[in-house]
Amino acid sequence: MRTPDSEGASIVMIGSFNPSIFQPLWLGTQQLIRPEEARNATITTIQAEITDFSTEWFQLQVLQTRFTIVSADPRQYGPLRDLVIGMFAILPHTPITAIGLNRHFHFRMSSIDVWHKIGHLLAPKEPWHAIMKGPGLRSMTMLGRREEGNKGILEVKVEPSVKTQPGLFVEVNEEFKPPSDGQPEGAQWVPACLAAQWDATITSAETAAEHLLDLVKE
Amino acid sequence: MIPSTSYQDAILRPGSSDIGVLFAARQEDLQKFLYRRLAKPVPSGTNYITQALFEGQEPRAPEDVLVRLPSLRQSKWKVTVLQKWVGRVEEVQADRFSAALVDATNSRNPIEQVEFDMREVSESDRSLLAVGATFYWSIGYRHTPGGQVERISSLRFARLPRLSELDVTRMFAEADQLAAFLERD
């Protein structure tokens, strides 16, 4: 894959969380992260309503209804999945109603012209000229499925990069819900979902980004 | 969609009702991710804002506390991975170990056998080194905030929760059931 200027991956869950459980020392005690990582974590806040801290390779933010863990280090995408699997194997009764697997990229485009070209290809401007001057693509999200029959809802978002000029931002999100038969309960479905889907989401994000860049290959 | 890199379009009001979380509406405002306690109604008959503070009286704590939290942060280093593998330890010796590596960059590549020096393993990962253990190995470049480009090779062992006795008992019971089923004829 073409090397991005920057990238990241994250796991986001919607449910009912107890933020103050998610502390670096708890993760260290459970041997889910290294003891040094637990001791040296940078803590922004740990309260009943919100936890936010970061280590060298991930940032964790937990609200009462939302869990977000992010890594901007592509070496750590496997360990990121393992960490979340570990947390919810220990907390299997946490009610989780949805999980989103995400990967994003910022790619530098070779020129402004190429940058415009991808916008024109994805969103032709002709239909817009009658109602505005200088129409440009601000954001586009396409919805679908990674594969026929796959349970996840796939969204691919394309925007001008806010970090790299001229640059392209591509974000791939795949969202999964608990099994419809109602079993297993709580977070018991989460480890299996992550084990089965994470690598595929990470790889499909690369494929999607590569495909979009190939549209304007010179 | 459950986006991760930005919080625009999201206003979250958890069920506890006294907590509000306000998210930036625009991309450029992401640093202004706000979290606050919602103001409680001021009892009638008082004028909270102009209330006089008498000597020795502690100022009344504001009911509407605004805490500024960072949005999701960027890493200090940019890491570019050239190639990464998932390894499974096959043999452990005093100063080295051998492993089978699956190429995670290109799954079409064949499985490779590689020997690692024990010094490649972080001190705190050594207790995880055993036959069957899984690890992640990456090579690539790290761009430091100071502009230095460094060639890196990093090895990290997978950390998964220990199975409880109950889990082990359940797995053995399931295995026994399966074995009994297979041996039925």
Condensed to tens digits (0 to 9), the pLDDT of residues A7-34 reads 999 999 999 999 999 999 999 999 999 9
Span B118-160, pLDDT tens digits: 999 999 999 999 999 999 999 999 998 899 999 999 999 999 8
Q: How far is A78 from chain B (nearest CA, A)?
A: 7
Q: How far is A85 from chain B (nearest CA, A)?
A: 7
Comparing CA positions, the residue from A215, A25, A3 lying closest to residue A108 is A3
Instruction: Test B14 with A31 for CB contact under 8 angstroms.
Output: no
- Let me know whether B95 and B49 are in one domain: no
Is residue B170 domain-resident? no
What's the total number of domains in chain B? 2
Q: Give the torsion sign (CA, B155, A102, A172, B29).
A: negative
Q: What is the mean pLDDT of residues B21-26?
A: 48
d(Cα A13, Cα B2) in Å, to the nearest integer? Answer: 8
Span B52-92, pLDDT tens digits: 444 444 444 444 444 455 556 666 778 999 999 999 999 99
Task: Answer yes or no: are the C-beta atoms of B131 and B120 closer than 8 Å.
Answer: no
Span A115-152, pLDDT tens digits: 999 999 999 999 999 999 999 999 999 999 988 888 88
- Let me know whether B130 and B66 are in one domain: no
**H or E element that contains B45:** none
What is the pLDDT, as a whole number, of residue B171? Answer: 84
- Let me know whether B108 and B67 are in one domain: no
Domain that holds residue B140: 78-157
- Let me know whether B153 and B109 are in one domain: yes
Domain boundaries defined on chain A: 6-11+75-214, 18-64
What is the pLDDT, as a whole number, of residue B52? Answer: 43
**Residue in B5, B14, B74 nearest the CB of A65:** B14
Computed over its alpha carbons, how large is the radius of gyration of chain A? 19
- Enter the pTM of the model: 0.79
- Let me know whether B153 and B120 are in one domain: yes
Instruction: Test B73 with A59 for CB contact under 8 angstroms.
Output: yes
Task: Answer yes or no: are the C-beta atoms of A156 and A142 closer than 8 Å.
Answer: yes
What is the pLDDT, as a whole number, of residue A179? Answer: 85
- Give the rounded percent of residues in chain B with a pLDDT score beyond 90: 41
The angle, 0 to 180 degrees and rounded to 10, between the axes of the packed helices A77-90 and A190-214 is 160
What is the pLDDT, as a whole number, of residue B165? Answer: 75
Is residue B173 domain-resident? no
A30 CB neighbours in chain B (<8 A) are 161
**Residue in A35, A74, A171 nearest the CB of B5:** A171
Instruction: Test A173 with B75 for CB contact under 8 angstroms.
Output: no
Q: How confident is the model at residue A47 (pLDDT cuts 50, 70, 90)?
A: confident
**Residue B85, domain CATH:** 2.40.50.140
Q: Where is the domain boundary, B71, B103, B126?
A: B71
- Let me know whether B64 and B92 are in one domain: no
Q: Which residue of A has its CA nearest to B123?
A: A34
Q: How many CB atoms lie within 10 A of CB A35?
A: 13
- Let me know whether B42 and B4 are in one domain: yes
